[in-house]
Chains A and B, each alone.
Chain A
Amino acid sequence: MEYNVKRGEIKIDKELNNLDKFVLDFVSVLKNYVIVSGYVSIILGRSRATEDVDLLIPPMKKIEFNTFWKKVIEKGFWCINTPDSEEAFDMLSQNAIRFAKNKNPIPNIEFKFIKNEIDKFSYKNKIKVLIGSTSFFVSPLELQIAYKLFLGSNKDIEDARHIYGLFREKINKDELTDSLNKLGVYKKRKFLEDE
């Protein structure tokens, strides 16, 4: 795995698994998105599964959402929350909506509009993960680590440690410190490595 910090790209030498293909299929209808949370550590090799993939999208107008809805339904996805695009759009102003494929509710994509400053930062500073000829956009590693420590479950701490352990030499330590402080989890940095 190679992280080119200047280019904001991570190259991964592996075959796509079915979860990767599921995600790729979905994001292929989107121009702009960023993947956050658990799947970021999984795509970077974390040895666990997930039932959902968290996606942040810049807010859409209804017309744009309807176009996206038609494309994603044509690809075989369905919205778990409602079959009605108008209702789904209304839900997005409050919550996330979830899309699954074929008849199975898992895995699913948790689809949310960017709302807060952390979301905006993740999107503006996203990095590209390249697997063969395909690519995904994920949140910046420093923020991802800090956010996982903020979430704080054992699983989340393990995810943070995984990302930190893989890219310890390349991670921007100042940016990581700032991210930890911003989320009030500076003291949890002890979980990232044994002293």
Chain B
Amino acid sequence: MSKIKNIKVNLKELKSEKEKNFKERLKFIDYWTNYIKNKGSRWGKQQNLLVDSQID
């Protein structure tokens, strides 16, 4: 098994990926809010499935 101390990590690159990922997540927030505004009540069932999946 290889050891993590032996790999080279480019932290600058990782941070850049982290920022790109966050920007992409914010774009999805915009997509979802538009969906809520334009797709009537369809969003509710989808959200309920997600929320209810955590509760017995």
The answer to whether A154 touches B51, judged by C-beta atoms less than 8 angstroms apart, is: no
Q: Is B54 an interface residue (CB 8 A)?
A: yes
The answer to whether B55 touches A107, judged by C-beta atoms less than 8 angstroms apart, is: yes
Cα A157 to Cα B47 in complex, Å, equals 19
The answer to whether A165 touches B44, judged by C-beta atoms less than 8 angstroms apart, is: no
User: What residues on B are CB-neighbors of A102 within 8 Å?
Assistant: 56
**Residue-by-residue, is B19-56 near A (CB-CB < 8 Å gives 1, otherwise 0)?**
00010011001101110110011011111101111111
Q: What's the tally of chain A residues with a CB closer than 8 Å to chain B? A: 30
**Residue-by-residue, is A26-55 near B (CB-CB < 8 Å gives 1, otherwise 0)?**
000000000000000010011111010000
* Contact A13 B44, CB 8 Å, known A18-B55, A161-B29, A162-B29: yes
Q: A152 → chain B, closest Cβ, in Å?
A: 12
> Which of A's residues lie within 8 Å of B, judged by CB?
1, 12-15, 17-19, 22, 42, 45-49, 51, 102, 104, 106-107, 154, 157-158, 161-162, 165-166, 191, 193-194
